[in-house]
C-alpha cells in the first residue's frame, strides 16, 4: 500500500486539518516537475531560476506545515500533562479514602487516630469521595490513555510524512535539499521528541496497574490497550455474516412462497398480521442499522466517538449484519412454524409468535457475558435512560435513541397488541380479531416516543448553561405529535356520525395538525439536524461549506425527507377512496418512516462529526471533578516539573508510585 493511502487510513479524522497535507505536497512536487521548462527549448539560467523559485516556494509551504503540526502537538501535549496531573490528584483522593486497600501497602505514614492531621484528612477525604469513584477513574484513565495513543499516532504519522515527502522531493527534483531540510528542521522539532509522551503512557500504565487493577498488569493492559488503527474485519466474522445473510435470504424466499401457497385461516389472519408486523419492522431497522454503520465507517464518520462507545469493544458492520440476519432468520422460522403448525403437530400456532418475542428479549437482556454483552448492555442502558428521560442528563446517544424510537412507533403499538393478546385474550376468545381492536392505550403507545423526546428537550434546557431557546423549539416539534394522535383518534371515534368524512371537524383538525407537524419537523431536520441551507450560492448551494458525502446525496435527502414525511397525505386519500386497507397503509408507512430515518442517520451523524472535527475532539470527554485550592497548588507544582512526568531515565524495574510530596 502506498504511504499516501496509509496516511489517510491511519490519521485521526477529527484532527485531519492539523496533519501535514501529504497529498497536496505530493501533488505540488509533481506540478513543479511537469511545469519545468524544457531543457532543449530554454536557456540553462531560466531552468535554474525556475527550480530555485520552486524550491523556495515548496520549502516555505513545508515550513508552514511543520509549524502547524508542531503547534498542535505542543497544545495537545500541554493539555495531556494537565489532565495527567489532575487525574493523579483524583487518584490520590480515591486512594486515601477510608476503606481503600492499596495493592502493595500504605502510600503514606500511619497517623494517630486522634491527631489533628488525621482529623484534617478525614474531612478532606469526605469531600474527595464526592469527586470520582474508582469506576469513574478507570474509565477516565482508559480514555486518557486512548488520547495519548492518538497523539503518539499523530506524532509518528507526521514525522514519517515529512520524511517521505522530503525523499520524494529529492527523487523527482534530483536534489539533496529535501534530506537537508528534514534533518535541519524536523529532527529538532518538538513533535518528534517522543520521550515525554512515552513517559506519560508508561506512567498511566503503571498507575493503573498498581492502584486500579490490583497489581495485575495483564488486566490493566486489557482495559487500556487500544486496537490497531485501520484494523480490518476478521475473516471469520465476515464469513459468519455472509453465512447468516445467505440463510436469511433462503428462509425469506421460503416464507414468501409458503404464505402465498398456505395462508393462515381467516380466523387467525388478523392476529397473524399484527403479531408479526412489529418484529418485521424491527428486522428491517436492524438491516438499515448495519448499512448505517458500514456507511459511517466508509465515509470516515466516527460514530464510535459520537455515541461515546468504548473503541476497544465496538461492533464491526459485519457484526451488525449478522445480528440483523439472526433476527430475520428467527422471524422467518417463526412464520413457517405458524403456517405449518399442523404438519409438525403443534395444536396452537400462537406459540410461535410468543416464542419469537421471548427469544428476541432473551437475546437482548441475557446477562451472561456472551453474544456481544457490552453492546447489549449499552443498548439496554440507553433505552432505560430514554424512558426515564426527565431524571437523567441527556447526551447525544440518548436523544439519538429517542429519535430512532420515534420511527418505530408501529413497533410500540404492535408491542402493546402482543402484550394484550397474550395477557388477556389468548385461549380465552374464539374470535381473536377482537384482541386487536384499538383501545385508549393504542394512542398512548403512539405518543410515548414523542413524549420521551419532549421530556429530553426540557431536560437539556434545564441542564444547559446557555438556556438556549432551541431546546424549547425542538420540544415544540415533538409536541405536534400529541395533537396529530389526539385529532386522529377523535376523528376515528366520531367518523360514524357523519355521512362524509370532510363534514367531520376533527378531519380538518387532523389535516391541519399533520401539515403543521410535517413542515415543523422537516424544517428542523434540514436546518438544525442536517445543518444545511447555510450557503445560498456557489458550488454548494443550499448546503454547507464542508461535506462528507457526495453533493447529490444531500439534494436527494432534502427531497426524500419531505416526500416520505408527506406519506400521510397519500395514506389519507388512498383510504378515503378505498384503494388500500388500513393495515397495509400503516405497514407501508412504517417501512417508509424507517427508511427516512435510515437516510437521516447518515447526515445527522455527519453533522455531529463535523462539530467534533471543528473542536478537534477525538476522544470522549474526561469529566474531571473540580479541584480544591490545595489540589490546584499541587497541580501547578506538577506542571512546573521539567518534563511534567516522572523521570524515566533513572527507572529500572520499579513501577510508578504517587510521590509522597503529593500527600
> With 70 as the cut, is the pLDDT of residue 511 above it?
yes
pLDDT tens for 607-618 read 999 999 988 888
What DSSP designation does 210 have?
A: I
Task: Give the Cα separation of 399 and 456 in Å (integer).
Answer: 7
Distances 231 to 6, 155, 307 between C-alpha atoms, Å: 12, 19, 20
What integer pLDDT is reported at residue 50 of this predicted model?
86
What are 105's strand-pairing partners?
103
pLDDT in the model for residue 621? 75
pTM of the model: 0.85
Tens digit of each residue's pLDDT (9 = 90 or more) over 124-182 = 444 444 456 788 889 899 999 999 999 999 999 999 999 999 999 999 988 899 999 99
For position 105, what pLDDT does the model report? 38
Average pLDDT (438-449) is: 92
- What pLDDT does residue 311 have? 84
Give the integer Cα–Cα distance in Å for 313 and 208: 19
Count of CB atoms within 10 A of residue 334's CB?
23
Q: Is the pLDDT of residue 407 over 80?
A: yes
Tell whether the model's pLDDT for residue 529 goes beyond 80: yes
Question: Residue 29 — pLDDT band, cuts 50, 70, 90?
Answer: very high
Q: What is the pLDDT of residue 646?
A: 42
Confidence band of 41 (pLDDT split at 50, 70, 90): low
DSSP assignment string, 600-638? HHHHHHHHHHHHHHHTT--S----PPPPPHHHHHHHHHH
Sign of the dihedral defined by the CA atoms of residues 88, 92, 93, 99, in that order: positive
CB 501 within 8 A of CB 455: no
Axis crossing angle, helix 134-173 with helix 3-10, rounded to the nearest 10: 160
Average pLDDT of the segment spanning 312-334 = 95
CA dihedral 627, 633, 635, 639 (to 10 degrees): 150
- Over range 626-648, report the average pLDDT: 57
Q: Are 186 and 173 in contact (CB under 8 A)?
A: no
- Whole-angstrom distance, CA of residue 69 vs CA of residue 159: 10
Q: What is the pLDDT of residue 100?
A: 53
Tell me the longest C-alpha to C-alpha distance in the chain. 102
| Long-range Cβ contact pairs of 13-17 (< 8 A, separation 24 or more) | 13/300, 13/301, 13/302, 13/609, 13/613, 13/618, 14/302, 14/305, 14/609, 14/612, 14/613, 14/616, 14/617, 14/618, 15/72, 15/150, 15/154, 15/613, 15/616, 15/618, 16/613, 17/613
Rounded to an integer, what distance in angstroms lies between the CA atom of residue 426 and that of residue 415?
Answer: 15
Q: What is the pLDDT of residue 73?
A: 95
Q: 9 near 230, Cβ under 8 Å?
A: yes
Stronger pLDDT, 93 or 88, i.e. the higher one? 88
Q: Which residues of 196-234 are buried (b: 16+ CB within 10 A; e: fewer)?
A: bbebbbbbbbbbbbbbbbeeeeeebeebbeeeeeeeeee
pLDDT for 39 beyond 80: no
Calpha distance 363→371 (Å, rounded) = 8
Q: What cell numbers appear for 148 in the block?
A: 495519548
Helices 351-365 and 266-299: crossing angle in degrees, nearest 10, is: 30
Question: Are 447 and 485 contacting, i.e. CB atoms less than 8 angstroms apart?
Answer: yes
Query: Residue 574 and residue 588: Cα distance in Å, rounded?
Result: 12
Which are the contacts of 650, defined by CB distance < 8 A and separation ≥ 6?
A: none
218 has pLDDT over 80 = yes
Distance CA 332, CA 157 (A): 49
Whether the CB-CB separation of 377 and 570 falls below 8 Å is answered with: no
* Cα(357)–Cα(330) distance, integer angstroms: 10
Res 631: pLDDT: 61
With contact defined as beta carbons under 8 Å apart, do 310 and 381 qualify? no
- pLDDT tens column, 249-304: 999 999 999 999 998 988 888 899 999 999 999 999 999 999 999 999 999 899 99
What Cα–Cα distance (Å) separates residue 212 from each residue in 62, 101, 221, 288, 406?
44, 11, 11, 40, 41
Report residue 555 as a C-alpha cell: 439534494
Q: Is the pLDDT of residue 506 over 60?
A: yes
- Separation in Å, CA 281 to CA 411, 529, 545: 7, 24, 36
Nearest to 620 by CA among 122, 136, 127: 136
Q: What is the pLDDT of residues 233-263, one digit of tens each?
A: 889 999 999 999 999 999 999 999 999 999 8
| Angle, alpha carbons 166-171-173 (nearest 5°) | 90
Cβ pair 341, 272 in contact under 8 A: no
Q: What is the pLDDT of residue 538?
A: 86
Residue 520: pLDDT over 80: yes
Query: Within 13 Å and on the Cβ side, how many CA atoms surround 491?
Result: 21
So what's the pLDDT on residue 125? Answer: 47
Amino acid at each position: 500500500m502506498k504511504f499516501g493511502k496509509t496516511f489517510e487510513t491511519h490519521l485521526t479524522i477529527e484532527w485531519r486539518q492539523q496533519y501535514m497535507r501529504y497529498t497536496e505536497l505530493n501533488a505540488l512536487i509533481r506540478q513543479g516537475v511537469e511545469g519545468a521548462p524544457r531543457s532543449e527549448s530554454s536557456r540553462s539560467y531560466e531552468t535554474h531560476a525556475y527550480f530555485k523559485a520552486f524550491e523556495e516556494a515548496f520549502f516555505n509551504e513545508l515550513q508552514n506545515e511543520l509549524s502547524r503540526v508542531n503547534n498542535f502537538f505542543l497544545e495537545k501535549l500541554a493539555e495531556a500533562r494537565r489532565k495527567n496531573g489532575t487525574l493523579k490528584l483524583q487518584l490520590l483522593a480515591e486512594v486515601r479514602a477510608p476503606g481503600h486497600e492499596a495493592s502493595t501497602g500504605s502510600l503514606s505514614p500511619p497517623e494517630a487516630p486522634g491527631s489533628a492531621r488525621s482529623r484534617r484528612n478525614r474531612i478532606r477525604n469526605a469531600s474527595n469521595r464526592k469527586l470520582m469513584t474508582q469506576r469513574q477513574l478507570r474509565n477516565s484513565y482508559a480514555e486518557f490513555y486512548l488520547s495519548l495513543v492518538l497523539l503518539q499516532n499523530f506524532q509518528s504519522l507526521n514525522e514519517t510524512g515529512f520524511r517521505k515527502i522530503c525523499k520524494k522531493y529529492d527523487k523527482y527534483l534530483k536534489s539533496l535539499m529535501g534530506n537537508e531540510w528534514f534533518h535541519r528542521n524536523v529532527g529538532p522539532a518538538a513533535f518528534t521528541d517522543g520521550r515525554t509522551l512515552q513517559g506519560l503512557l508508561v506512567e498511566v500504565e503503571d498507575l493503573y496497574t498498581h492502584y486500579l487493577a490490583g497489581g495485575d498488569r495483564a488486566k490493566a493492559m486489557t482495559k487500556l490497550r487500544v486496537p490497531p488503527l485501520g484494523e480490518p474485519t476478521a475473516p471469520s466474522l465476515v464469513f459468519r455474516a455472509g453465512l447468516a445473510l445467505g440463510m436469511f435470504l433462503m428462509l425469506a424466499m421460503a416464507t414468501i412462497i409458503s404464505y402465498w401457497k398456505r395462508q393462515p385461516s381467516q380466523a387467525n389472519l388478523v392476529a397473524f398480521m399484527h403479531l408479526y408486523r412489529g418484529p418485521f419492522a424491527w428486522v428491517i431497522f436492524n438491516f438499515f442499522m448495519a448499512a448505517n454503520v458500514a456507511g459511517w465507517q466508509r465515509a470516515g464518520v466516527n460514530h464510535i466517538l459520537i455515541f461515546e462507545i468504548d473503541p476497544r469493544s465496538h461492533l464491526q458492520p459485519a457484526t451488525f449484519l449478522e445480528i440483523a440476519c439472526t433476527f430475520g432468520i428467527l422471524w422467518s422460522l417463526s412464520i413457517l412454524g405458524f403456517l405449518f403448525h399442523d404438519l409438525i403437530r403443534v395444536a396452537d400456532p400462537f406459540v410461535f409468535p410468543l416464542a419469537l418475542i421471548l427469544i428476541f428479549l432473551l437475546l437482548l437482556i441475557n446477562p451472561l457475558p456472551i453474544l456481544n454483552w457490552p453492546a447489549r448492555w449499552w443498548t439496554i442502558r440507553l433505552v432505560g435512560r430514554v424512558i426515564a428521560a426527565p431524571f437523567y442528563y441527556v447526551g447525544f446517544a440518548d436523544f439519538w435513541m429517542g429519535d430512532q424510537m420515534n420511527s418505530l412507533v408501529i413497533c410500540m403499538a404492535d408491542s402493546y397488541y402482543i402484550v394484550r393478546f397474550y395477557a388477556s385474550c389468548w385461549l380465552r376468545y374464539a374470535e381473536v380479531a377482537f384482541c386487536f381492536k384499538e383501545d385508549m392505550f393504542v394512542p398512548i403507545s403512539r405518543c410515548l416516543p414523542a413524549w420521551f423526546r419532549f421530556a429530553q428537550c426540557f431536560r437539556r434546557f434545564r441542564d444547559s448553561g446557555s438556556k438556549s431557546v432551541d431546546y424549547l423549539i425542538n420540544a415544540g416539534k415533538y409536541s405536534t405529535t400529541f395533537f396529530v394522535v389526539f385529532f386522529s383518534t377523535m376523528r376515528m371515534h366520531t367518523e360514524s356520525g357523519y355521512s362524509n368524512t370532510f363534514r367531520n371537524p376533527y378531519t380538518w383538525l387532523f389535516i391541519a395538525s399533520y401539515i403543521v407537524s410535517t413542515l415543523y419537523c422537516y424544517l428542523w431536520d434540514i436546518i438544525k439536524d442536517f445543518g444545511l441551507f447555510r450557503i445560498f450560492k456557489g458550488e454548494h448551494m443550499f448546503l454547507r461549506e464542508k461535506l462528507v458525502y457526495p453533493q447529490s446525496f444531500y439534494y436527494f435527502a432534502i427531497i426524500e425527507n419531505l416526500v416520505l414525511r408527506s406519506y400521510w397525505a397519500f395514506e389519507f386519500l388512498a383510504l378515503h377512496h378505498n384503494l388500500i386497507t388500513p393495515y397495509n397503509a400503516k405497514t407501508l408507512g412504517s417501512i417508509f418512516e424507517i427508511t427516512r430515518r435510515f437516510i437521516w442517520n447518515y447526515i445527522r451523524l455527519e453533522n455531529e462529526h463535523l462539530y467534533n472535527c471543528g473542536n478537534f475532539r477525538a476522544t470522549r470527554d474526561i469529566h474531571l471533578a473540580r479541584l480544591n485550592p490545595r489540589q490546584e497548588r499541587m497541580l501547578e507544582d506538577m506542571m512546573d516539573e521539567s518534563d511534567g512526568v516522572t523521570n524515566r531515565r533513572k527507572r529500572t524495574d520499579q513501577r510508578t508510585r504517587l510521590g509522597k510530596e503529593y500527600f
